[in-house]
Amino acid sequence: MRGFFLLLLLAGAALGIFYPWYANNFSGEELGSWPVYDRASGFKPFEADLGSSDAPVRVLVDLTTLGAPAFENARAVLTMTVSHDGRTVLAKAMSFADSVSRQRSPQSQDRIYRAEAGVIDPVAPGTYKFTVGQGDVDDMDMRSVEVELRSGAAPLDRRAQPAGFALMAVGFIGLVVARRRRRGDPPANPNSQPPPPRWGRGASRN
């Protein structure tokens, strides 16, 4: 049983942690990265030329902050809109609550958080305008914001991460229970005890 629960734990980790990380960072081909915010000049939009062969195009946003802020699901840190020929093709508010941070360098206190703004699919050939703005969180020390576009990116199944976390929980609990049972003393078997003496001191009285 311990092997079974260990497999559940590993499968959950692959589904809940490795799969989203791989899909967000390595799925598809990088088209480019554009800075959209710095502390000196604030927010600025950018334009990118996309073709139908680029579809689907995943839009990723990297937020660099000083330290590790406390994100909340109900509060948007950044907003993004993508338009083409005057029509909005993508709009997203990003809270970064589910993002895992990475450090720019061991000596720096800056942390980078990545969130997916969405996927553009299908892609009509032409110029797309990307506009990033501040959400309803105005007390965060933002260093910079960059947008990365990836073409041919496989869509991320949103059901995978919760299912992976559930498998990890079941596997971990199962391993803990199995370990405790293995360490515990075996239950006493009444049939394995010798019968009481029938005479002398300590003899049973019937």
Give the residues across from 148 on adjacent strands. 33, 60
- Hey, what amino acid is at 129? K
Is 91 found in the same domain as 11? no
Is 77 found in the same domain as 137? yes
User: Looking at residue 77, which CATH number applies to its domain?
Assistant: 2.60.120
Is 93 found in the same domain as 39? yes
Is the residue at 116 inside a domain?
Answer: yes
Is 130 found in the same domain as 35? yes
Is the residue at 197 inside a domain?
Answer: no
Is residue 63 within 8 Å of residue 38, measured between CB atoms?
Answer: no
Task: Give the residue with greater pLDDT, 179 vs 27.
Answer: 179
Residue numbers of the domain that contains 22: 1-27+156-183
pLDDT score of 130? 98
Is 98 found in the same domain as 35? yes
User: CA-to-CA distance for 100 and 120, rounded, in angstroms?
Assistant: 24
Is 129 found in the same domain as 169? no
Whether the link from the prior residue into 197 is cis, omega within 30° of 0, is: no
Is the residue at 198 inside a domain?
Answer: no
pLDDT digits (tens, 9 = 90+) for 85-143: 999 999 999 999 988 788 877 778 899 999 989 999 999 999 999 999 999 998 889 99
Strands 57-66 and 87-94: unpaired
Mean pLDDT of 150-170: 74
Is 76 found in the same domain as 108? yes
pLDDT score of 117? 93
Q: How many domains does the chain have?
A: 2
pLDDT digits (tens, 9 = 90+) for 70-88: 899 889 999 999 999 999 9
Structure tokens at 198: 């029938």
pTM of the model: 0.66
* pLDDT of residue 203 exceeding 60: no
pLDDT digits (tens, 9 = 90+) for 21-63: 666 666 678 899 999 999 999 999 999 999 999 999 999 999 9
- 201 CB contacts (<8 Å, ≥6 apart)? none
